[in-house]
Amino acid sequence: MKYLTALLFTVYSLCSFAADVLAPEAFTARYVKALEETYPGISVTISEPLAIAIKYPNGAQMTSYLDNAYIDYKQSPEDIDNVIATYAAGLEDTRNLDSAEFTLAEVMPVIKDLSYIQQVGDMLKDADPDNGLVYEALNEELFVVYVFDTPTSVRFMTQDDLKDLGVQQTSLRETALNNLQRVLQNVQLQGDPATLCILVADGMYEASMLLFHSIWNKQQFPVKGEIVVFIPARDVVLVTGSEDTTSLATIQEILFDKQGFAHPISSNGFVLKDDKWVHF
């Protein structure tokens, strides 16, 4: 019980931290204000939290995603003005993303839910009906979305990008996982892998660890029953056992306070069966 209390405090501390900083919506609004002050004449529209559409006086348009800026801000909330100023100053580089020549080395996989796929897909179709999002289903709720992760921004891969790269979508998973493995050099487990633990990586790709099927084994997680994984948010991965009623109850308490999570994904648990994640 002492261990569970300590672990619960650790997870709730993570949620409290997320609540103390600006929510993605508020951060995006503040970022937009800074852009409009820095670049007079541009028109900025918030497409969704951490996604903005920019129109320049000459008619040029672009979409910019603020995921990296938000991650940097969460690491140093007191430095918000400097973080925003730094990324705003790089807008001219970001402006060239739509015409940039990306490489396969920049492709990363992110896990999203169905509603996210629909929202972003609709946004891209509004810009170009024939240039859709590149994604694949893990199950009826979870999807893998492929993105280009650059030093200044994250941009979703489109069907046109596939053509430009000259690759088939069927080969993206292996490439993206190789890239992800190269980036994630300090993955840790906090808690007890035999009862309840949290997977900690870089703050952006924790949920993507579901794609490394080989790590989800009883040697790594000697839990009671089957390994059950919860991904309430992009950066929160909780692991317990299907027969560990105490830990499952603890997780439900954590998920009940779901408003504490930025970038929410799912409140469901998942079990890996026959190389496919199914609902617990």
Taking only the tens place, the pLDDT of each residue in 115-155 is 888 877 776 676 677 788 899 999 999 999 999 988 766 77
Residues composing the chain:
280
Residue 98: pLDDT band with limits 50, 70, 90: low
58 three-class SS: coil
| Position 276 pLDDT exceeds 50 | yes
Residue 1: pLDDT band with limits 50, 70, 90: very low
Whole-angstrom distance, CA of residue 32 vs CA of residue 46: 8
Whole-angstrom distance, CA of residue 156 vs CA of residue 40: 27
Whole-angstrom distance, CA of residue 155 vs CA of residue 52: 12
User: For the segment 230-243, what is each residue's pLDDT rounded down to a tens digit?
Assistant: 999 888 999 999 99
* Alpha carbon 243 to chain centroid, angstroms: 29
274 sits in the region (left: phi over 0; alpha: psi -120 to 50; else beta) called left
Report, as an integer, the average pLDDT of 192-198.
Answer: 96
| Position 36 pLDDT exceeds 50 | yes
| Position 217 pLDDT exceeds 90 | yes
**pLDDT for the residue 107:** 95
Who has greater pLDDT, 56 or 181?
A: 181
228 three-class SS: strand
- Nearest 5 degrees, angle CA 195-CA 201-CA 107? 130
Q: Kindly provide the residue ranges of all beta strands, DSSP E only, lying in the chain, ordered along the sequence.
A: 43-48, 51-55, 61-65, 107-113, 135-137, 142-149, 154-156, 188-192, 196-200, 227-233, 236-241, 269-273, 276-279
Report, as an integer, the average pLDDT of 3-14.
Answer: 45
| Position 193 pLDDT exceeds 90 | yes
**pLDDT for the residue 76:** 86
275 sits in the region (left: phi over 0; alpha: psi -120 to 50; else beta) called left
Residue 199 near residue 111 (C-beta atoms within 8 A): no
Who has greater pLDDT, 141 or 100?
A: 141
Residue 131 near residue 160 (C-beta atoms within 8 A): yes
| Position 261 pLDDT exceeds 60 | yes
**Half-sphere exposure of residue 160: CA atoms within 13 angstroms, side-chain side:** 14
Could you count the other beta carbons within 10 Å of the beta carbon of residue 137? 11
Residue 14: pLDDT band with limits 50, 70, 90: very low
**pLDDT for the residue 115:** 84
Residue 260: pLDDT band with limits 50, 70, 90: low
Whole-angstrom distance, CA of residue 9 vs CA of residue 244: 19
Closest CA to 47 of 31, 71, 63, 69: 63
| Position 3 pLDDT exceeds 50 | no
Could you count the other beta carbons within 10 Å of the beta carbon of residue 276? 11
Could you count the other beta carbons within 10 Å of the beta carbon of residue 206? 21
| Position 60 pLDDT exceeds 90 | no
Range name among 69-73, 123-127, 244-248 with the lowest pLDDT average: 123-127
Find residue 55's DSSP bridge partners: 43, 61
Whole-angstrom distance, CA of residue 185 vs CA of residue 151: 17
Mean pLDDT of the chain: 84
In one-letter notation, the amino acid at residue 278 is: V
Could you count the other beta carbons within 10 Å of the beta carbon of residue 74? 20
1-30 exposure pattern, b = at least 16 Cβ within 10 A, e = fewer: eeebeebbeebeebbeebeebbebeebbee
**pLDDT for the residue 15:** 46
Report, as an integer, the average pLDDT of 92-102.
Answer: 62
